[in-house]
Every structure is written in C-alpha cells, then in structure tokens.
Amino acid sequence: MKAAVVSSFGAVPRYEEFPAPAAAGENDMVIDVIAAGLHPRVRSQADGSHYTSTGELPLVPGIDGVGRGADGLLRYFILPDTRAGAMAEQTVIDTRRSIVLPADSDPIAVAAAMNPAMSSWVALRQRVQFQAGQNVLVLGATGNAGQMAVEVAKPLGAGQIIAAGRSASRLAGLAAAGTVLLEGDAETVASRLGRAAADVDVVIDYLWGEPAAAAMVAVVTDRADRGKPLTWIGVGSVAGSTAPIPSAALRAARLQILGSGQGSVSTREILAELPVLAREIAAGTFDIDARPVPLTDVEQAWADAATTTRRIVLTP
Ligand SMILES: NC(=O)c1ccc[n+]([C@@H]2O[C@H](COP(=O)([O-])OP(=O)(O)OC[C@H]3O[C@@H](n4cnc5c(N)ncnc54)[C@H](OP(=O)(O)O)[C@@H]3O)[C@@H](O)[C@H]2O)c1
C-alpha cells in the first residue's frame, strides 16, 4: 500500500510503498483511512522529538484519523504508539480506541478538529474540577488548539475568557471577553497580562518556555486575591520545552501547575469525551479551518504546515 514514510528523522515523510498492516488482536480492525490530521504532535512524532518517540524507523506518522473498516461504519480513531500510523491508505485500529461517527459526519472536519479541540476539552473536563462561572486565560490563543480553547471553555460554562497571543489580527477574531497581545517589551506585556488576568481561575497554557514563566509571574503578581486557587494547565509547548519558573511564583499565590496530555490523562478518560466532542464538531461549535491535501502531496504538505495557520488534513 502507499503511505507517508519517514526513513530518517532529518527528512520529511515521502509518499512510498509500505507493508499493508494486518489485524493481530481480537479488537483490531483494518481501516481504510479517509482523513488524518497533520497536527504539531504528528510533526514531532515524525521528527523523533515527541516524548513518546522510541527512535525506531521507518515509520508512518499520524496519531488519529477518520476511516471505514469492513463493517462499513465511519469511525474516528486514536492510534496507540505505533510505527504504522494514520497517514497511509490503511492502518490497524483497536476498535476500543475509536468511536462510530454519524454517517453524515464530515471526515475532514473531524480529523482536523478532534486533536486541537480535545486539548482544552479534556483538560477542563478530566484534569480539573472546572466549575461553571470560573474564569479562564488561554495562553497562546492564536493557534488551532488555542482558538478552539476559547470556543471550548464557553459550552463548559466558563465565566470570563481571556485570550493571549502574539497575533493581533487573530486575537481580534476570537470571541473572548478580553485579549492580551504578547508583543512588545517584557514589562509592558507583563503589566497588560497581569491586569487582564487578575481574576482568572484556570490557565490553559499552549506556550510553556520563557513566555509561560514570565506570564506566570505577571499573573501571580497582579492577582486580585492571592489566596484564590489558580490552576495552570500545561497543554502545549510551542515556545519551549522547559520554563524557568521562579520559586516565588509558587509561594506568593495559591498556584498549582499540572499538565494534560497523553499519559497524564488515560486513554479511557480521553475516549469518554470523544462522542460529545464529535457532536460539538458536527453542530458547528468550533470554527474549523481545515485544508485537505492528497496523501501523494505529503512532502509539500509538511513544508506548508510550518507556515500555514490552517490545519492540514491528509486524504489517502
Ligand atoms: N496535550 C494535548 O492534549 C494537546 C493536544 C493538541 C495540541 N497540543 C499542543 O498544543 C500546542 C498547540 O497546538 P496547535 O494545534 O494549536 O498548533 P498550531 O495550530 O501550529 O498553533 C501554534 C500557535 O502557537 C503560536 N506560537 C508559537 N510560538 C509562540 C510564542 N512564543 N508566543 C505566542 N504564540 C506562539 C503560533 O503563533 P504565530 O502564528 O504567532 O507563530 C501558532 O499560532 C502544541 O504544542 C501541541 O503539541 C496538546
């Protein structure tokens, strides 16, 4: 079969022959892949930098997707850590890690939106006891996942939602109660952010790195009530994999830091959220900007993914 194949972590995947996968376990099912999202997680899988990487090659990237098996049902699936990923004509899924979609679902929209939408949805539903009316700061709100976090927090009952990011034009398009531009000298950014986020309860952080550490200091410093719990959920790391957080930030306010992702949330907990997320996607709750690209053009898709804000979805 044809697939996107990574033969070296220094090179982009190429459209090549790859052995067709076979079902092994009793819950396995061979799936004809219809759509697979090119998420940042997939890029880090393909360049070997993701924390789950075993370093084994060759591999077919792709962690999730939409496809149809021999039973004729349309499914969204999440793959386990495997070298036979979703960016192929076929893959093998564990049916327990899939949900059956309504037959009229849009495979491109589902493949584009599930991963970014899940980041905040699962964090707020499974990692914290999120209460209606709590205020949320989305740090790094201009990417696919960040924009959706603003849309996700609303149906989950958020009070005020503050969106912070470094693109003024994309911030302007968000339906947030307040926006903070993370551009300019550090002092100005800190004071802008501290004022806007003085009363937040939960931070959904896509940045990590230096910007997150600086934001944490700013939010703690300007906090209206330092005794009020502040939960900082690390969900992404687009600005750096380590963050120099000063000890004082942890001691000066009632701050707790946790993460949400593969490992800190179990597969069972993630799967429990998928049916309702699929319904929200079908209902048009999220603004999905997907660009379908044929799998034959995978090399160009990889180059484009580094610069486009649209979520590329490969279609075998
Ligand atoms: N834990 C989970 O469950 C989960 C699930 C999905 C995604 N994630 C993670 O969430 C992160 C975002 O994913 P995504 O799908 O939204 O990616 P994306 O669509 O590529 O968006 C990334 C955004 O980050 C912005 N950015 C990069 N560096 C920045 C900085 N220093 N300051 C402010 N903004 C910065 C970019 O803005 P510019 O356009 O200004 O460059 C871009 O809009 C990734 O780390 C991903 O792995 C986690």
Cα torsion 45, 47, 51, 57 to 10°: value is 80
Pocket test for ligand 1, best of 189, 206, 265, 289 (most atoms within 8 A of CB): 206
Query: What is the reported pLDDT for 53?
Result: 84
How many beta carbons lie within 10 A of that of residue 227, not counting itself?
Answer: 8
Residues of the chain with confidence (pLDDT) below 70: none
146 alpha carbon – ligand 1 mean position (Å): 7
Query: What is the reported pLDDT for 262?
Result: 87
CB 166 less than 6 A from any atom of ligand 1: yes
CB 41 less than 6 A from any atom of ligand 1: yes
Alpha-carbon distance of 150 to 28, in angstroms, equals: 36
CB 113 less than 6 A from any atom of ligand 1: no
Query: What is the reported pLDDT for 230?
Result: 98
Could you identify the atom of ligand 1 that is nearest to the CA of residue 259? 1
Could you identify the atom of ligand 1 that is nearest to the CA of residue 148? 16
Are 123 and 130 within 8 A, CB to CB? no
The sign of the dihedral angle between the CA atoms of 107, 111, 116, 120 is positive
Could you identify the atom of ligand 1 that is nearest to the CA of residue 39? 15
CB 107 less than 6 A from any atom of ligand 1: no
Tens of pLDDT, residue by residue over 213-265, are 999 999 999 999 999 999 999 999 999 999 999 999 999 999 999 999 989 99
172 alpha carbon – ligand 1 mean position (Å): 17
Query: What is the reported pLDDT for 51?
Result: 79
CA angle (98, 101, 102) in 5-degree steps: 165
28 alpha carbon – ligand 1 mean position (Å): 32
